[in-house]
Structure 1
Amino acid sequence: MKISLAKTFLRYFILLFSTLILSVLLVSYYVQPAQFYLPLFKVHFFYIPLLLYVLLFALFLSGYFISQLVITTKKAHSLIEEGINALKEGQYQSSIFEDLKKGIDTSFNSGQVKEAESLLQLRNKMIQVTTLTQGNRQTGNKLAEAEKEEIVLKERHRIARELHDSVSQQLFAAMMLLSAIDENSEKIILPRKQLETIQHIINEAQSEMRALLLHLRPTQLEGKTIKDGVEQLLNELKSKIEADILWDIENLYLPLNVENQLFRVFQELLSNILRHAKATEIEVRLKQANSIVLLRIVDDGIGFNKSEKPLGNYGLQNVRERIASLGGTVKIVSVPNEGTSIDIRIPLIK
């Protein structure tokens, strides 16, 4: 970069110095044709020859032009960097893209124009993809009844498998322990550890059952707003489990497909917390900032190590896939024995 600036400065200086010298010589030739070059050396101002003034003036102008070039380049790079960050955050409607268009028309050089045009093309493609994936209310309402029935059937089969693989086995293990205790009740005194084991198994089964019941709820909002659906779910949950649940839900008006997918994601995340987190406090925030929908769920549970495959990984993978289909992002931060926070960002296309 420094070498490039030095070369540019040298080119500016040579061009300006040559132009100024030529101008002085032309004027001198018009006044004194025989010795037109002598004024450069013989004419003095404050004991300084004219040639030195020409040299200093050329240096000054070159420095000024280079400084303006540096300022313009930094501004262009800053705009391009802000545009990249806006794309990363899903802010496709940001005013920074209008500034890039103005820069292309006015102040950017050829290299910066190519970078800015590539960025704008990428933004347009991302808008198209996000628009196609999100759809709108009309598209959502046109979902065929046969497709709905197939979705419901697959969901029921999945829940049946999970009930068989998890709750049924846990309850069977508890029953086997109770049967063994009953057969030997006259001979032995029940150890405390065995009681604690039975209690733990039954508690796990209850948590699993509550989580699976979330999946049996309607996967669509069925005419309700996302605020109504989420708050109803949280109120029901609050009355059934021993945990402090706090929430701050804004009244959002979203495309139907986005509402339904977001509601399904919320069910999945809440189900994971009930199954695995062992949390005593749960905090939920849902709001819209400019053209971004933000969902944040925090719990104080056991957390997990992200370098290892966590419990509920299948559910988290479902969440990532659903949010990715809307053009959004999922950020998960978890600390073992301290809790987990999940931040979801979904861009909205006007």
Structure 2
Amino acid sequence: MAGTSLSVSRPTIQWRAADFKLQSRYLARVLLLAAAYYASAKLGQSLRYTASVSAIWPPAGVGMAALYLWGLRLWPGIFIAELAVNGELLHSLPVGSLIGQHAGNMAEVVVGAVLLRRLIGQRSALDRPDDVGGMLVAIGTATAISATVGTVSMLLGGVIAGSDIPKFWRTWWLGDTAGGLVVVPMMLAWAPDPVAAWRRVRCREGVFLVASAIALAFVSVSATGPVTYMVFPALIWAALRFGAPGATVSIAITALVVIGTTAHQSGAFFSQPIDHRTLSTQVYIVIGALTTLFLSALVAERERSADALAEAHRREGERAIEERHRIARDLHDSVSQALFSTALHTRTAEKALGNDRDDSFGHVRQSLRAIAELTKAAQAEMRAFIFDLRRDAVEAGLVKALAEYASTIRTPSGLTVSVQGPESALAVDPRTEEELFAIGREALSNVARHADARSATVKVEPRSGCLSLEISDNGRGFDSTAARPGHFGLESMRSRVAEIGGDLTITSTFGIGTVVRVDVPMQSATASDGS
């Protein structure tokens, strides 16, 4: 061993640029959160009614929303900001009370963020009433923790007496709750996608809304008359027209105007005793915020349901087109081919009999000719039917679609069909046009099959407030009130008219003809696609 030498390598520490970048980014976020929390605390202190009474505490909302949106690992930012805020109070409050207040506020923010994630999920846009309710439970529970811990700390430090506990706890809890209901929804609506939120309110109406909210909020708390809730029309307007981004901005504006006016010793609330003044302001903000947020969520839910219904209609239409194409293929491969084979065999039989000059087969020849004519007519009708199935019948417009269908009709009586109507696009939605085309097609089909008419007329006429479709013929007529088991044409037309909110009138006279008339209100026609 004497000749053996040992070499020990010294450990080296390697700093990777990626790790340093991540740590720097995390530190920047922590400091940014600390700055935002501290700034909101100074804002709350600037709106105090007295040296120790604040109607609203915005940092509670800032902390809960930040940890909810960007992760609990940013809690050191809250801790640093709380140290700075409480450090400024060392000259006026016992150290033990400040430590308790610090711990209670930290617990409030962390518990609130955790409850928000569990009750409303991650990245909620507060576009469901259940989410707004879950947010209320989370904020209310978290702020109750802070109020309880803070009240006990102040009581043990001799800052308050036992008789002050109910009022002190209530003021603390409502102040933090009001701050949470103003700040948390605003951050949830704006922070994930500020550009989209800004586009939602960036318009003349949005500017007018902000101005109206400021004016109405000021009038509601500064006037001497009973107009305290005059600001609610602006809040409702924001919820109905601008969703969560506009609603949360209006809530924040209302809270700032109301508290600022009262803090500067004016307004309806300032004339009340300090306890009542604080309570009135806090309840006013909480009720206004909850009303606006729930209404905004209901509107968003309704819009989402309307979008889902429209999407369902679109998918239903796509599936219907696919099914029509499938049926067209099946008809072409089966019935159409069978009709072609029938016509071919009929012609072959005719030719065979034509070579035989026996007059006893004359009636057979006539029957074969009739079969050939019927088969030819059936083929034409089948081709037209397959053609209609393979395309959007009213893509070029209702009048043109009816004219194209009328041109395919062939009858032994030599029926001629005239289609009259405007060449310009009709002010109706596609679904209404499709239903009207189906009704017209059914009516013309009935004329061709049963009326034994020589002429028919189709009129499409927009009138005052309605669209009229009329199909008339000079056929044999029928009793429109009589039941016809096994025949579903009239029932199909009645069903289609009912679906588009129209009226169906059938007038028929034996030996003169029939008139089928459909009147569809324009507003019904316009709305039927989305109903």
Normalized against structure 2, the TM-score is what?
0.32
Work out which structure has the larger RCO, using CA pairs closer than 8 Å and 6 or more positions apart in sequence. 1
Could you say which structure has the higher strand fraction? 1
Q: Quick check: which has more Rg, 1 or 2?
A: 2
